[in-house]
Structure 1
Amino acid sequence: MAKDSADNPPRAEEQVGLGFSHRQILVTMSGLVVAMLLAMLDNMIVAPALPTIVGELGGLNHLAWVTTGYVLASTVATPIWGKLGDLYGRRIIFTAAVAIFLIGSALCGVSQDMAQLVAFRAIQGLGAGGLMVGVLSIIGEMIPPRDRSKYQGVMMAVMPVAMIGGPLIGGFITDNLSWRWAFYVNLPLGAVTLILCWITLAKLPKGTGKAVIDWWGTGLLTIWITALVLVTSWGGTQYEWGSAQILGLIAVAVVGFVAFIMVERRVAEPIMPLRVFKSANFSLSGAVSFISGFAMFGAMGFLPQFQQFVQGSSATNSGLLLMPMMIAAMVVSLSAGQLISKTGHYKSLPIIGSVLVTVGLALFATMDVGTSTFVSGIYMVLLGAGMGAMMQTSTLIAQNSLDLRDMGAGTGVSTFLRNMGSSLGVSLLGAVYTTHLADTLTGTPAVAASATRMTPQLLRSLPESVQKLFEQAVTNGVTALFTWGAAVAAVGIVVALFIRQVPLRSAVKPQAASTDAEPVAVSS
């Protein structure tokens, strides 16, 4: 292969892709970088504020839905935004997604109860789905594959900023301003994104007008996913597992899923092309993506509860205490990428990652009210290192298992599976947490009644006996959810063992319609 543009970056006046010069691409990417930061920062900022939000608004049973509603809406909306971009052009659709995200952020900030907050978080999630797919689609449309790798480092810089800065910003806002600013902070960033993108994306194509949106598939996807998440959220908490409500939701999920599969097999442009699952490596990497999403959001969503209520950390400090996990995930992810690019070997990484995640979650399950921040920090490093080894590698394996015609849709399916893991992880582990917390407080009706509005500050003002009891209840809930999380992660070890080492290619080779052949494409 000739020594080309990979070693000789284009000069500012050289034309790339759709006639964009190197300078124009960098200017355009300035808006995309802010948009990516906006999408990634949101959950990181909100996590340290959750104990205070739940305490002020009440509704402990809805805690998981503050995150689940957002992730679920984002998951379902992502493929729709992609199709709308094909139909009407990336510029108008992307800016519309940013606008919806900002409207949702503003509404979240004025929420008066948990029901409103969950609903407005769903609106935020609808917009967020368009942010992520919009950035990836615009880069794919603006920069040809041969030149794309030269600009990917710019987007990678967003990850550490969001992962490290988000919890710190969220904690500082909660301690020094109001939790409502965890949502209002999106508004100035979003305004900058809107202005930059509207100006810099004017050169993109206006859309073909020929895209066909799989509305039946989209509707059925929304129905069965929502029913499934409701089953995991409400089963055993708000309703008995054998109740008519839960059994009805299970029936809706099963019927909706079967109908969805039937529709996707027949429509011309399915929202989720089923042929991608004929590759064993793709299916296995999807399962790893699901499990990594389950573990990541389970840890992120509930660790601040233990840190603030039991370990006595402020919201700012709980953000700082999450840094060992975030830094470990970032360092291992980047190192894994470098290792794969040099050696071409990746099979061992999802296995090692699954083992580390399982061990990390199992160690969290051993915590008690006396566990120090130093000890829990060590557990976080193990968990973060495992997630870093799994997340990037699972995406690479998925892309390496796809034909060119399925590259975009297949990558979307892989992202969808990770988001589904996140949604189910938060809802299922949230149900485990609230059930064990409530069970511990059953013998003390007064404390149980105040649990839904308990904040770390309020807890410190109560008698010591009440503090000890509530701390034990939180600990019981957290250790129970991590026990279940470790069990799920252990399944990931078994799944990862079956992934095959298929040689990585440096280019995409066209392939016939046969879908059971082994991978032909990869990111270089």
Structure 2
Amino acid sequence: MMKMNKRSILLTGILFGAAANTIMQTVVATILPQVVSQLGSSHLYGWVFSGYLLMSTITIPLFAKLADLYGYKLFFTIGMTVFLVGSLLCGLAPSLHFLVMARLVQGVGAGVLGPVSIALISVLFPVENRGKALSAFAAVQFFSNLAGPIAGGFVASSFGWPFAFYMVIPLGLLSLITIRFSRARTDREPEPPSSLKNIDYWGALLLGGSIALFVQAWTIFEKSGWSLNTLLFLAGSLLLLIWFVFQEDKHPAPVLPPDLIKITNVKLANWSALLTGVLMHGAIAILPLYAATTFNGGSADSARFLLPLVLGLSVGIIFSGQMIHRFPYKMLARTGWLIAAGSLAFMSVIIFTGLPVYFNYLFAFLIGFGIGSLVPTFLLPAQNAVSERSQATIGGMIQLSRNIGGAAGIPLLTSIIGFSSAWGSKLTSYGIVFLVLFILGITGFFIGSRFEGAARPEEKQE
């Protein structure tokens, strides 16, 4: 009982950290117009977002590898400290140029926290409790997404925008204190100092550069379509990726070990995460636009379908966490993909047949439920397929896949809306987008059907 209490204390610290990180991501979107009006330099508006996204994505592989070598609690502490320093610098920013640099610092901290948090949970809890812990982690993230804009808007309007950045600092400090004083044993013996010299830094740089160019290509695509710049960035990303593959093959300690990537459940988990990223971020981006068009309204109407979606995400995550150790992975994966894909198909049917609009609320909830229930179904199979020494690396790989899915999916889906609107009504274009997402959901169903094994109870960890 005492041991379980120690784990619960450490999990609480991880959840505080997840809340701080997630709230900050949504706060910025809420307060940035106010920040720009005071600091000027509106041409840097997009870099406040994209700079953070790039740094939090491209740093994942290197820091995940280092955490696997030197300890998860150590790197959680490092990541949270860097994140809090970045938050403080954001609030102190005298110009938008300074704010962009501070967001880069925040992004580095977030790049450490993501995979290390998942790795901590995986080594902290045995299989029969791990799904519930991961569900709590994901549920905190989604509820924080809801709370962030509300709390950030209130704090910014009442005390000024710098305090919207400062408000996550107490949560981060609580996380640090809880992690620091928790006595739950999670880390192995650290690697010898010489292993630090053997890390594939060049491979990490190549992979990070490839991801950065890929994300930037789709950012340009969203603004200007298939322009020369879009193609150049995609070509550069592909060349760096090919170089990275050759680098990994010849390096004795690769950042993303090829032997891990070849494992069946790891491959399936990464493809599942990629498609889930497209569906989740795509639904979050498209549903507010669809609601505003449906009700001929503005921002007040745009949240009508988003709220049931987010509620469904949270319920789905909690449900799947309870069920993951009772049923085979593929059964839960099939169920989640079918619910999400079927609900997306019915959204198209509503548009093309003129069914009552209130059905949208139900299917928005079911889309969220289906997507949310998928999270543990691809994370746990990948984690259980590798040793404890690779937990952060696996968590980082899956987070990378999900980020890339979101980065590419949103501009692709919005471009479909713009293209199809030229030869049809605005509502028809949303019907086409939902059909595209339905096809991706069916693809995910066939991928999920290939998972091997189930989460069987193991001996409890000490």
Structure 1 segment 277-426 matched on structure 2, within 5 A: 277-301=261-285, 303=287, 311-313=297-299, 322-344=306-328, 345-346=331-332, 348-356=334-342, 358-359=344-345, 362=348, 377-399=361-383, 408-426=392-410
Note the C-alpha offset of 1:224: 1.0
Indicate yes or no: 2:14 matched with 1:37: no
RMSD: 4.4
Give the total of aligned pairs: 444
Q: Contact (CA 8 Å) 1:227, 1:249: kept in 2 or not?
A: yes
Q: Contact (CA 8 Å) 2:57, 2:403: kept in 1 or not?
A: yes
CA change 1:379–1:137 in 2 (3 A) is closer
Indicate yes or no: 2:223 matched with 1:241: no
For residue 500 of structure 1, what is the aligned residue in structure 2?
A: 450
Mind listing any 5+ residue stretches in structure 2 that lack a counterpart?
Answer: none
Structure showing greater Rg: 1
Greater Cα shift, 88-97 or 424-433: 424-433
CA change 1:106–1:426 in 2 (3 A) is farther
Determine the C-alpha separation between the residues in 1 that align with 2:386 and 2:394: 7
Indicate yes or no: 2:248 matched with 1:225: no
Structure 1 segment 125-524 matched on structure 2, within 5 A: 125-140=107-122, 143=124, 147=126, 149-150=128-129, 153=132, 156-174=135-153, 177-178=156-157, 180=161, 181-200=163-182, 207-208=190-191, 209=193, 210-211=195-196, 212-235=198-221, 237=223, 241-243=226-228, 245-301=229-285, 303=287, 311-313=297-299, 322-344=306-328, 345-346=331-332, 348-356=334-342, 358-359=344-345, 362=348, 377-399=361-383, 408-429=392-413, 483-484=432-433, 486-498=435-447, 499-500=449-450, 502-504=452-454, 506=456
Q: Contact (CA 8 Å) 2:6, 2:183: kept in 1 or not?
A: no
Note the C-alpha offset of 1:121: 3.4
Q: Contact (CA 8 Å) 2:291, 2:303: kept in 1 or not?
A: no
What's the CA shift string for 1:16-50, capped at 9, x where partnerless?
Answer: xxxxx444444333322211222333334445557
Structure 1 segment 92-103 matched on structure 2, within 5 A: 92-103=74-85
Which residue identity does 1:188 align to in structure 2? P
For residue 58 of structure 2, what is the aligned residue in structure 1?
A: 76
Which residue identity does 1:37 align to in structure 2? A
Where 1:28 maps in the other structure, the secondary structure is: helix
What's the CA shift string for 1:232-261, capped at 9, x where partnerless?
Answer: 1113735x7353x33432331121010011
Note the C-alpha offset of 1:220: 0.5
Greater Cα shift, 337-346 or 290-299: 337-346
Structure 1 segment 6-17 matched on structure 2, within 5 A: 10=1, 12=2
Q: Contact (CA 8 Å) 2:119, 2:395: kept in 1 or not?
A: no
Q: Contact (CA 8 Å) 2:325, 2:455: kept in 1 or not?
A: no
Determine the C-alpha separation between the residues in 2 that align with 1:229 and 1:189: 30
CA change 1:338–1:432 in 2 (3 A) is same
Determine the C-alpha separation between the residues in 2 that align with 1:196 and 1:186: 16
CA change 1:416–1:489 in 2 (3 A) is farther
CA change 1:479–1:286 in 2 (3 A) is farther
TM-score when normalising by structure 1:
0.69
Determine the C-alpha separation between the residues in 2 that align with 1:431 and 1:54: 27
What's the CA shift string for 1:259-283, capped at 9, x where partnerless?
Answer: 0111112222221123344345543
CA change 1:65–1:485 in 2 (3 A) is farther
Q: Contact (CA 8 Å) 2:15, 2:140: kept in 1 or not?
A: no
Q: Contact (CA 8 Å) 1:233, 1:431: kept in 2 or not?
A: no
What's the CA shift string for 1:367-410, capped at 9, x where partnerless?
Answer: 99xx97x5653442132123123333232443465577765533
Where 2:250 maps in the other structure, the secondary structure is: coil
Q: Contact (CA 8 Å) 1:48, 1:304: kept in 2 or not?
A: no
Determine the C-alpha separation between the residues in 2 that align with 1:160 and 1:79: 25
Note the C-alpha offset of 1:161: 4.0
Where 2:317 maps in the other structure, the secondary structure is: helix
Note the C-alpha offset of 1:227: 1.0
Mind listing any 5+ residue stretches in structure 1 that lack a counterpart?
Answer: 1-9, 13-20, 441-474, 509-524
What's the CA shift string for 1:481-506, capped at 9, x where partnerless?
Answer: 88447525513413422532634262
Determine the C-alpha separation between the residues in 1 that align with 2:131 and 2:320: 16
Determine the C-alpha separation between the residues in 2 that align with 1:283 and 1:340: 19
TM-score when normalising by structure 2:
0.77
CA change 1:406–1:160 in 2 (3 A) is closer
Q: Contact (CA 8 Å) 2:122, 2:383: kept in 1 or not?
A: no
For residue 519 of structure 1, what is the aligned residue in structure 2?
A: none
Note the C-alpha offset of 1:165: 4.7
